[in-house]
A and B are shown apart, each in its own frame.
Chain A
């Protein structure tokens, strides 16, 4: 589904990605993990074409993304910080994104699921962080794209919404979609992810299932395994 080859990206003097190679197969939930500043968001934004890499190739669905924008039709993206134009109403924002994408959407059931009806006519600047994140989730899940990219989807969510989100993820996965998630909440990762991709110093340090990771680090829970991984020699 996604092929990343020899990806380099520098922001000023700060080298964030240094020769990253990654291949993500079709279907399943992939968790991209790593310490703060390890390049998770940069990697995701490079795949989306929001960050222009210094070197390297990325292809999505077998098509190189360089000078291409049409491939984004097949991607639903949930940004890390829900920054929306504040002067728009929730309803207007949803309508606008629908108008831009021109695809069948199922926003009604999602609005109902996350109980967003009372907010539909409110301006985005007046919403709380958690509500904004719910709007963000609705905007991401309302289309039916084969690739989902979620950057910290759990931020600000209450427990009930978190459960809904997990169910949604499982539902999308069962449709055979590829889902890329970043998160710092290991409990969430342990519950949803099939494969863990661990980023360190701009490279892939580990890629494999959660069980392999536990075995390798000889830990019993994911949180400790992730904390221990950087100190474990001979990586994948």
Chain B
């Protein structure tokens, strides 16, 4: 599996897009720091960008890579390599190189700015960890979609739809149901609804850590009230891990049954 990972990773590192992605975060990091002049504020702005952008890039890259490497996959399938290693290795190659672009791209400007002397280091690392989780989750989701759809256009369509649903539509539906059912106690509903969306979950997780009540919103408040800050952090982290493990497990499982 490590060999597959190595080839996928090198393949991606050589591609122009990883550099574009890396440079984007690098520039974003520098610009935010020098415009804000405040690490905490920069972290909040970054959060808002990361939470939308990272899933989108993870989804698009995942689907694109899967379809582009179809030939490579078919070549590997006839070699003495375990099927699960092929797919898991390729997945880790994509998710790994995306995570690296994110962590290095944002990390470098912050380190240069003097992050290690600031108190925001934990907030910032949590931001990167969440970004990494979102990359892992959405790349896994997109691989699942691509594996199920031979037709590229369909695969792309579904992948973008899933992103759109989780990043935008879900919140709208959530809000609407809160308004419609406002007569009823909604604590457990909103708690569950947050858990079922990795993007909302990440947002809540970061806001809990930053402890900004004004931005916490209804769900965040419920979260905090229900679990308390520490347990809330722990719970949301656990859910993020579940969100990562389940799609990967499904990916490996489905890959074993597929015909090529």
| A69 pairs with B260, CB closer than 8 A | no
Residues of chain B whose beta carbon lies under 8 Å from any beta carbon of chain A = 3, 7, 11, 14, 69-72, 74-83, 256-260
Complex CA gap A11/B70 in Å reads: 20
Beta-carbon contact of B74 and A69 below 8 Å = no
What 0/1 readout, one digit per residue, does chain A (64-87) give for beta carbons within 8 Å of chain B?
000001111101010100011111
Asked if B75 and A48 sit within 8 Å, CB to CB, the answer is no
The CA-CA distance from A85 to B83 in the complex, in Å, is 18
* Contact across chains for B79 and A50 when beta carbons are under 8 A apart: no
The prevalent SS among residues of B at the interface is helix
Residue of A nearest to B83 (CB): A69
Tell me the complex Cα distance, A48–B83, Å: 12
Whether B75 contacts A84 by the Cβ 8 Å rule is yes
User: How far does the alpha carbon of A100 sit from the alpha carbon of B77 in the complex, in Å?
Assistant: 12
A-side contacts of B74, CB under 8 Å: 50, 79, 83
Q: Is there an interface contact between A99 and B259, defined as CB atoms closer than 8 Å? A: no
A50 touches B3 (CB 8 A): no
The answer on a CB contact under 8 Å between B70 and A83 is yes
Inter-chain contact B71/A50, CB cutoff 8 Å: no
Assess A97 versus B79: contact at CB under 8 Å? Given A79-B74, A83-B71, A84-B71: yes
| Nearest CB in chain B: distance from A125 CB, A | 10
Report chain A residues within 8 Å CB of B75. 79, 83-85, 97
Closest A residue to B260 by beta carbon equals A50
The answer to whether the Cβ of A113 comes within 8 Å of any Cβ in the partner chain is: no
In the complex, the answer to whether A52 meets B78 with C-beta atoms within 8 Å is no
Q: Which residues from B are CB-within-8-Å of A70? A: 80
Q: List 28 A-B contacts (CB under 8 A).
A: A48-B77, A49-B83, A50-B77, A50-B260, A51-B259, A51-B260, A52-B256, A52-B257, A69-B82, A72-B78, A72-B80, A77-B78, A79-B75, A79-B78, A83-B70, A83-B71, A84-B71, A85-B11, A85-B69, A85-B72, A87-B11, A96-B7, A97-B75, A97-B79, A100-B3, A100-B79, A100-B80, A100-B81
Tell me the complex Cα distance, A64–B76, Å: 20
Q: Are B260 and A99 in contact (CB under 8 A)?
A: no
A91 sits at the interface (CB 8 A) = no
B259 near A50 (CB under 8 angstroms)?
yes
Cβ–Cβ contact A72 & B259, under 8 A: no
Indicate if A122 sits at the interface (CB-CB under 8 A): no
Task: Say yes or no: A99 contacts B80, CB within 8 Å.
Answer: no
Name A's B-contacting residues (CB within 8 A): 11, 45, 48-52, 69-73, 75, 77, 79, 83-87, 96-97, 99-101
Q: Chain B residues with Cβ under 8 A from A73's Cβ?
A: 80
Smallest beta-carbon distance A86→chain B, Å: 7
* Nearest neighbor of B82 in chain A, beta-carbon distance: A69
- CB pair B81–A50 under 8 Å, yes or no, is no
Q: A85: which B residues are within 8 A, CB to CB?
A: 11, 69, 71-72, 75
- C-alpha spacing A87/B16, complex, angstroms: 12
A137–B76 Cα distance when bound, in Å, is: 16
7 nearest A-B residue pairs (beta carbon): A83-B71, A72-B80, A73-B80, A77-B78, A85-B72, A51-B259, A50-B260
A50-B82 in contact given A11-B259, A86-B71 (Cβ < 8 Å): no
Tell me whether A72 and B79 are in contact (CB under 8 A). yes
Q: Which residues of B contact A99 (CB under 8 A)?
A: 3
In Å, the complex CA distance between A73 and B78 comes to 9
